[in-house]
Amino acid sequence: YTPPQEAVVIGEGEFRYQLVPGWATENAAKYKLGHCHAIKQDSRGRILLLHSSKEQCVIALSPEGKVLDAWGDFTNSAHGLAVVAEKDREVLFITDNSGNGKIFKTTLDGEILMTVSCPMESKLYANPNEFKPSKTLHLPNGEFLVFDGYGKDYIHRFSADGKWRSAFGGDLGKGEARLKHWGPHGGALDLRDPGNPVIILALSDQEKMKRFKLDGTWIETINFPGGNPRDIIFHRGHLFVNHLGDNWPADRNAAGYLSVLDYDLKVVANLGGAPARYDRAGKLARMGHSSHLFHHPHDLGADREGNLYVAQFSSNGTWPLKFVPLPRQSQSQRKADQ
């Protein structure tokens, strides 16, 4: 896989983006990338790239693609990244998804403030090596959720100071309240109703997304045939979802693509994928990539200007792809493109 060298345009309707060819690749000689797992912007305006390096798992870049800093020698397999605002500062939560994985709370410069390990007090684990967390989500009061997405598929709730409180998912509960392996890889918190937060789970290899109440009560399951939803961000009044591939894991060379969903989890645009098609009953037809622009998009982030950044897994150590938003197409322009 080699990323395109031309300014490719992807998307449809009001969600059209143009690739910035070669973004950040000037750093390739000095910084060798492993699997790129997460990408977010911090309050300093830096683009933070998390990748599977045991020496420097965090690389901080300018929006123009220049490396500003690199640090992080405390993980075996850095996987999840959350940028969290506290009262007087901003911190990072870095999730290590190796066996006996950890969650590290750090400053923006890499000082470790707290480490959370396997919650043996939950009595859900025979030994700590079964715990392989993939991501954290954060509540306004400082509490946070940990997805054991590579371990036993539980969703754990912790207090702000890292004390285990409760769990759901995995083999707990019945029916749709359970989470099969490989299940809760990524997700987001819908806080539009502050009194009733909703957890939205990206269930990757299940080709599904699920919604839960904070106490683990199942709300609904939405199927995304041909999708592999790895994570979710809220952006432009919608949910942006990155699909690792459209036939994963059967086809590990599947290209992958991005979807834009409304708050009912209906696909309104695909980026790098064919337009979504629903039948009269509202059933989504199988989706797929329309070009090999992407190769295993594992996470995506957005900056203050609305640009998108896509970090890719198992893609020959390629640097993230940056896209700038384009003006909405008129109906005549859309017909001309078709």
Splitting the chain (338 residues) into consecutive groups of 10 residues, what average pLDDT does each group show?
A: 95 97 97 96 98 97 98 97 96 98 98 98 98 98 98 98 98 96 94 96 95 98 96 98 90 92 98 97 96 95 98 95 88 56
Distance CA 88, CA 109 (A): 15
Is the Cβ–Cβ distance between 199 and 212 less than 8 Å?
yes
| Burial classification of residue 269, based on how many CB atoms lie within 10 Å of its CB (0-12 exposed, 13-18 middle, 19 or more buried) | buried
Bond before 249 cis per omega within 30 degrees: yes
pLDDT per position as a tens digit, 196-213: 999 999 998 899 999 999
For residues 118, 120, 125 and 127, what is the CA-based torsion angle, rounded to 10 degrees?
80
Q: How many CB atoms lie within 10 A of CB 164?
A: 18
Distance CA 197, CA 40 (A): 22
Please report the pLDDT score of residue 250 as a whole number. 84
pLDDT per position as a tens digit, 208-233: 999 999 999 999 999 999 999 999 99
Residue 25, SS3?
A: helix
